[in-house]
Amino acid sequence: MGVFGEGKSEDSVIRSDKCMVVSFDENRTAGASHAGVHHCDVDRPGRKAGVRLAQCERGLSDVERLNLVGDIDQSGIRADSQDDALHGSDVVVGEAEIGEKGDERRTGHDLAVKWAYVRHSYFDYNATGPVAPVVLRSLAESLSEVYGNASSIHYFGQGARQRVEAARRSVAARLGCDAREIVFTSGGTESDNMALFGVARRAPGCGIVTSAIEHPAVLSTCARLEREGHPVAYLAPGADGVVSADSVAAALRGTGIVSIMHANNETGVMQPIEEIATICRAAEVLLHVDGVQAFGKAGFPAGCDLYSVSGHKMGAPKGVGALYVRKGVALDPILYGGRHERERRAGTENVPGIVALGCAAGIAYDSAGIAALRDRLETGVLARVPACTVNGGQSPRLPNTTNIRFDGIEGEAMTIALDLKGFAVSSGSACSSGAVEPSHVLLAMGLKPEEARSSVRFSLGPGNTVEEVDSLIDAVVECSAHLRRISATFRSEEAVAHA
């Protein structure tokens, strides 16, 4: 197995040049020597007041000239956005505070351009992750050399078929199943849809049992099946984020399929799948498991009948996934066309994506090392930031995930503040980004809406280092202190607590 663990942080600069100066033409309008120049006005017909760009070491291309002037505009907009999102009207953050250091130059009436340097670190692996280097090489090779249709019988088609079947065996080996039980899909969402629609639509009125903490790919599918006449029971987890096997057993009345996720994407809490599988097998009910977050990070649970996998959570590119279908389980297809994938999923196979998924399935995952980094992050934040709690922290979790509640702070504000310091985190599921509602997962666990909104997810991966974790802890301490200073809600809660 290969090991995917190279550092993935990078230095981002607004523009790669070290120092640039914007000067106004001598023919500029009188009294406007310090006025801003909008990039839409540059080089317009009949306008002589152009913009001269001087660079300390080398010249600029025409595209770079336009980009630079656009950046000048955007720097002001970005500063305004920071102030609006994070600060009161009396608190202003200058552009220099975005990065770790900056350069500036002024000459006469020149408009100085200040460059901000931000070292970016990624802590949002549960949303997606980078393509592993070894996977990227296999993907590039497939794109350039394996272009045949895997259903064709000629030389090129058979070459593609061999690659597809090798990938199928690799995914099956990771799951410990027969390669013929693997169906390739476009990702986790399609795999979830295929499992639920495929089983439920074979039997009108087939009952479904699921949980209130599932991914939208499951919850939205269940909602659709409800409208088609299938009764659905939604089980609540405990305060620890765990859906008990007993609650599943109590809900099995006329049920045809149970769908419970292996590990929650927001909290990382692992579900007792093998206990639930024993109950389902005794009741002759099929069990589907959304394993998108757990695949590659945790072992394959024994006893499930269907198991969803997604490539981009584990070093493969987006747009490819798989569904394990236990031998003997019949599914109605949700796509109609050719006889691909043993007539279970029509459509020409995505050979490069499938090859990449097979390659990613062979990569070793350093669970112990990543868990140590996660624990270091949790310990550091809890020790230095008052009034914060790990949601679901008392339960077995994925080794890379922690969800921390910061009382009196909007999770979205903390996410933005950390992003400005170069740290990518999340305030919930990436598939629900943009929603103003608090996390349905945290609400189901019994948190109040304001508590759910004050939570931030940190998910680590092979590219993270001890130095990055320590820097993130420092940033969390600084951001939380500042956000609480300007939070009227937190000040009022403190006053009540000390009354």
State how beta strands 51-55 and 321-325 pair. Answer: unpaired
**Sheet hosting strand 51-55, strand order edge to edge:** 51-55, 20-24, 111-112
Q: What is the pLDDT of residue 13?
A: 32
Sorting pLDDT into bands at 50, 70 and 90, what band is 12?
A: very low
Judge contact between 361 and 354, C-beta under 8 A: no
Q: Which of 37-46, 138-147, 394-403 has the lowest mean pLDDT?
A: 37-46
Mean pLDDT, all residues of the chain = 82
For the chain, the domain total comes to: 3
Instruction: Examine the fold and report which residue of 361, 378, 411 is the final residue of a domain before the chain moves on.
Output: 361
Q: What is the pLDDT of residue 1?
A: 53
- Domain containing 473 equals 367-498
411 three-class SS: helix
Distance CA 413, CA 481 (A): 12
The CATH number covering residue 484 comes to: 3.90.1150.10
Instruction: Examine the fold and report which residue of 343, 361, 379 is the final residue of a domain before the chain moves on.
Output: 361
Q: What is the pLDDT of residue 89?
A: 34
Distance CA 152, CA 44 (A): 56
Q: Which of 56-60, 62-66, 447-451 has the lowest mean pLDDT?
A: 56-60
Q: Quote the DSSP letter at residue 179.
A: G
Q: 288 lies in a domain? A: yes
Q: What is the pLDDT of residue 489?
A: 64
Instruction: Examine the fold and report which residue of 330, 361, 392 is the final residue of a domain before the chain moves on.
Output: 361
Please provide residue 250's backbone torsions phi and psi, each rounded to the nearest 5 degrees: -70, -20
Distance CA 366, CA 79 (A): 40
Same domain flag for 357 and 371: no
Question: How many residues does this entry show for the chain?
Answer: 499
Sorting pLDDT into bands at 50, 70 and 90, what band is 118?
A: confident
Q: What is the pLDDT of residue 435?
A: 54
Sorting pLDDT into bands at 50, 70 and 90, what band is 325?
A: very high
Q: Which of 83-97, 270-284, 325-339, 354-368 has the lowest mean pLDDT?
A: 83-97
Distance CA 202, CA 349 (A): 25
- Catalytic sites, residue numbers: 431
